[in-house]
């Protein structure tokens, strides 16, 4: 449904900044009916790719085909197929839920009984059916996000693009939103591409694509991505990470990977993990703040692939959202 080939995008330089390559020969394919999460640290190219797919930016080179149509030559054929949920709210908080949905339907040529039927259908999955008269500003963050999604669904899109839709939601609201989105995606066989730095979101996706510096580093199912890190890993927080890394190499024949204050020994056979922990504690207990064995999750995959911590990703999201509010020249 979405086919990206050798996509490049360069932001032109200014007197203060040199030209910047935001996307570098990016190729990505998202099959019809697939739910794909796009993740990556600050400057990875997520925002630029999202803008290009939405038609808000033109790539420097390469091609994008959506629903069988070329984005450069036939954008008018693609727009009716697509719904977009931006990170910044795109509903009028001073209007009621009903007024927001009716206005959106009218902008797409839906009126009267046709608009009523579409709105009813768009709300069928939501918790908004008894809140139609409430102004959006009185709703919780989770319900306000449901209004955003319901608004897009009134046009029955085949493709749904979402930019950090769970940002600012509490864990319960975030999980509720993602589960509802996943159920809708399957029931309506929509193709969904969603950017997110929240790794629990990605557990529900069919595939996860990870970008860094405009390059696609990995794209696979969550289970296959986690298998890259191994079935188990030992994670150690020593008092002095640099010194203790040398201890592990010389005393235990283990080469750790350092991320911040942590030392990680990846791809360790399960039968070797507990004996290693016991030996480390027996000989270096005073040097270790914490140690444990864990099964990799998608956050570990992100760290493994990008070399960046989850905290960095969260900070990156805030930076990216600020960049999205700037003109394209400085985005």
Dump the DSSP string for 125-184: TSS-TT-TTSBGGGS-HHHHHHHHHHHHHTT--SEEEEESTTTT--HHHHHHHHHHHHHH
Work out the burial of residue 56: count CB atoms within 10 Å of its CB; fewer than 13 is exposed, 13-18 middle, 19 or more buried: middle
Residue 151 and residue 277 in one domain: no
Instruction: Give the pLDDT band of residue 317 (cuts 50, 70, 90).
Output: very low
Residue 45: give the domain boundaries: 2-226+312-330
More confident residue, 212 or 308: 212
- Domain containing 284 — which CATH number? 3.30.70.80
Q: How far is the C-alpha of 233 from the C-alpha of 2, rounded, in Å?
A: 35
Count of other CB atoms within 10 angstroms of residue 255: 11
| Tally of domains in the chain | 2
* pLDDT for residue 72 is more than 80: yes
Over range 173-192, report the average pLDDT: 90
Compute the mean pLDDT over every residue in the chain, rounded to the nearest whole number: 88
Work out the burial of residue 309: count CB atoms within 10 Å of its CB; fewer than 13 is exposed, 13-18 middle, 19 or more buried: middle
Residue 56 and residue 166 in one domain: yes
pLDDT at 314: 45
Over range 141-160, report the average pLDDT: 92
Model confidence pLDDT, tens digit, residues 116-132: 999 999 998 888 989 99
Residue 128 and residue 272 in one domain: no
Assess if residue 69 is contained within a domain. Answer: yes
For the chain, where are the E strands, in sequence order? 2-11, 20-30, 35-39, 61-66, 69-70, 82-85, 159-163, 191-195, 207-212, 215-220, 233-238, 257-259, 262-265, 288-294
* pLDDT for residue 324 is more than 90: no
pLDDT at 309: 52
pLDDT at 287: 96
Over range 150-158, report the average pLDDT: 93
Q: From 228, 195, 200, select the one nearest 30 (Cα to Cα).
A: 195
Over range 131-148, report the average pLDDT: 92
Instruction: Give the pLDDT band of residue 305 (cuts 50, 70, 90).
Output: confident
* pLDDT for residue 157 is more than 90: yes
Q: How far apart are the first and last CA of the chain?
A: 27
Residue 94 and residue 160 in one domain: yes
Residue 183 and residue 317 in one domain: yes
**Which pair of structure tokens corresponds to residue 250?**
């010389």
Instruction: Give the pLDDT band of residue 318 (cuts 50, 70, 90).
Output: very low
**Which pair of structure tokens corresponds to residue 98?**
């009903």
314 three-class SS: helix
> 264: number of CA atoms within 13 Å, CB side?
20
Model confidence pLDDT, tens digit, residues 175-184: 888 888 999 9
Residue 181 and residue 246 in one domain: no
78 three-class SS: helix
* pLDDT for residue 316 is more than 60: no
Q: From 58, 47, 70, select the one nearest 12 (Cα to Cα).
A: 58
Residue 262 and residue 146 in one domain: no
Q: How far is the C-alpha of 53 from the C-alpha of 71, rounded, in Å?
A: 8
Residue 130 and residue 242 in one domain: no
Q: Which helix (H) or strand (E) segment is 267 a member of?
A: none
Residue 95 and residue 191 in one domain: yes
């Amino acid at each position: 449904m979405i086919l990206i080939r050798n996509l490049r995008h360069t932001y032109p330089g200014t007197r203060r900044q040199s030209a910047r390559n935001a996307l570098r020969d990016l190729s990505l394919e998202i099959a019809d009916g697939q739910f794909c999460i796009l993740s990556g640290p600050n400057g990875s190219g997520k925002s630029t790719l999202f803008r290009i797919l939405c038609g808000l930016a033109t790539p420097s080179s390469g091609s994008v085909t959506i629903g069988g149509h070329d984005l450069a030559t036939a954008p008018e054929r693609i727009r009716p197929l697509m719904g977009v949920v931006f990170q910044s709210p795109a509903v009028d908080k001073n209007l009621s839920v009903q007024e927001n949905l009716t206005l959106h339907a009218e902008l797409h040529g839906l009126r009267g009984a046709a608009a009523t039927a579409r709105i009813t259908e768009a709300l069928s999955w939501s918790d908004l059916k008894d809140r139609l008269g409430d102004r959006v500003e009185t709703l919780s963050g989770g319900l306000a996000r449901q209004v955003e999604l319901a608004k897009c669904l009134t046009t029955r899109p085949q493709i749904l693009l979402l930019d950090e839709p769970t940002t600012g939601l509490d864990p319960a609201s975030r999980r509720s939103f993602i589960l509802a989105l996943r159920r809708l995606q399957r029931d309506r066989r929509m193709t969904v591409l969603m950017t997110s730095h929240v790794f629990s979101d990605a557990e529900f996706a069919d595939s996860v694509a990870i970008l860094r510096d405009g390059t696609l580093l990995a794209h696979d199912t969550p289970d296959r991505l986690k298998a890259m890190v191994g079935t188990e890993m030992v994670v150690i927080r020593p008092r002095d990470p640099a010194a203790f890394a040398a201890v592990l190499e010389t005393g235990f024949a283990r080469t750790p990977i350092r991320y911040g204050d942590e030392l990680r020994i990846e791809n360790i056979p399960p039968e070797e993990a507990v004996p290693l922990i016991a030996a480390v504690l027996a000989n270096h207990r005073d040097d270790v703040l914490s140690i444990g064995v864990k099964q990799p999750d998608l956050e570990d995959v992100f760290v493994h692939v990008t070399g960046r911590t989850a905290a960095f990703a969260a900070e990156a999201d805030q930076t990216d959202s600020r960049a999205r509010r700037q003109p394209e020249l400085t985005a």
